[in-house]
C-alpha cells in the first residue's frame, strides 16, 4: 500500500480520534495535518515492529498531549464554549446530534482514563485490540477485556439515561 492510499484510509480515523478528544473540526483538522507532516519527516524512524497505523496513532497521542498542554488549547476551549457552530442541518437535527454526541462523550468521560483510551482508539480509531495493546504497552487481551467492560458500563449508563 502506497503512502497515498494509506493516508486516505487512516486519515479519517486520526481525524475522528482528534475530533472526539477536542470537539472541534478546526483543531482536529490541524492536528491531523501535523501528525502526517511529522510522520513524513520521521518516516525513517518507523520500525516495522508495529503497524504503520499504530505508529501514526502513537504520533497522534503525543500531538494531543502537546495540544492539551498548550496555551492555545485553553483559549480555544473558552472560545468554543462561547460559540457553537451549526452546519447546514435543521436546528432539530443539530440539537439531536449534539445531544447524542455529548451523551457519548459524557459517558466516555465517566470512564477511567485507561478505559476511555481503549474505547476511543477502538471506536474512533478503529484499531484492532492487538494494535491498541501495543500502543498502550499492554497485551491484546488487556485491550479486549478493558473494551468489553467499558462497553457494558456505557450500555448501563445509557439505558439509565433513556429509562
* CATH number of the domain enclosing 131: 1.10.10.10
Rounded to whole angstroms, the maximal C-alpha distance in the chain is: 53
Nearest to 105 by CA among 120, 94, 90: 120
Same domain, 162 and 116: yes
Predicted pLDDT of residue 151 = 86
Predicted pLDDT of residue 60 = 92
What is d(CA 157, CA 82) in angstroms, rounded to the nearest whole number?
28
pTM above 0.85, yes or no: no
Res. 126: pLDDT tops 90:
no
Same domain, 55 and 102: no
Same domain, 91 and 115: yes
Same domain, 81 and 101: no
Same domain, 71 and 44: yes
Indicate left, alpha or beta for 14 from its phi (over 0: left) and psi (-120 to 50: alpha): alpha
Predicted pLDDT of residue 143 = 93
Q: What is the pLDDT of residues 83-104, one digit of tens each?
A: 444 444 566 666 666 666 566 6
Same domain, 110 and 58: no
Same domain, 115 and 46: no
Domain hosting 101: range is: 87-163
Res. 81: pLDDT tops 70:
no
Nearest to 122 by CA among 112, 110, 136: 136
End-to-end CA distance of the chain: 47
Same domain, 107 and 132: yes
What is d(CA 36, CA 55) in angstroms, rounded to the nearest whole number?
11
Domain count, the chain: 2
Q: What is the pLDDT of residues 50-68, one digit of tens each?
A: 788 888 998 998 898 888 7
Amino acid at each position: 500500500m502506497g503512502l497515498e492510499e494509506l493516508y486516505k484510509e487512516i486519515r479519517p480515523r486520526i481525524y475522528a480520534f482528534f475530533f472526539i478528544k477536542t470537539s472541534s473540526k478546526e483543531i482536529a483538522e490541524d492536528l491531523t495535518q501535523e501528525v502526517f507532516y511529522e510522520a513524513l519527516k520521521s518516516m525513517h524512524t518507523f520500525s516495522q515492529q508495529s503497524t504503520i497505523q499504530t505508529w501514526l496513532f502513537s504520533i497522534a497521542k503525543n500531538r494531543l498531549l502537546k495540544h492539551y498542554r498548550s496555551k492555545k488549547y485553553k483559549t480555544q476551549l473558552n472560545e468554543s464554549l462561547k460559540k457553537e457552530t451549526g452546519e447546514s442541518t435543521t436546528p432539530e437535527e443539530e440539537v439531536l446530534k449534539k445531544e447524542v454526541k455529548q451523551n457519548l462523550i459524557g459517558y466516555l468521560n465517566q470512564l477511567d482514563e485507561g478505559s476511555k483510551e481503549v474505547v476511543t482508539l477502538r471506536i474512533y480509531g478503529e484499531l484492532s485490540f492487538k494494535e491498541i495493546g501495543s500502543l498502550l504497552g499492554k497485551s491484546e487481551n488487556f485491550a479486549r477485556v478493558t473494551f468489553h467492560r467499558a462497553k457494558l458500563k456505557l450500555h448501563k449508563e445509557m439505558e439509565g439515561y433513556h429509562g
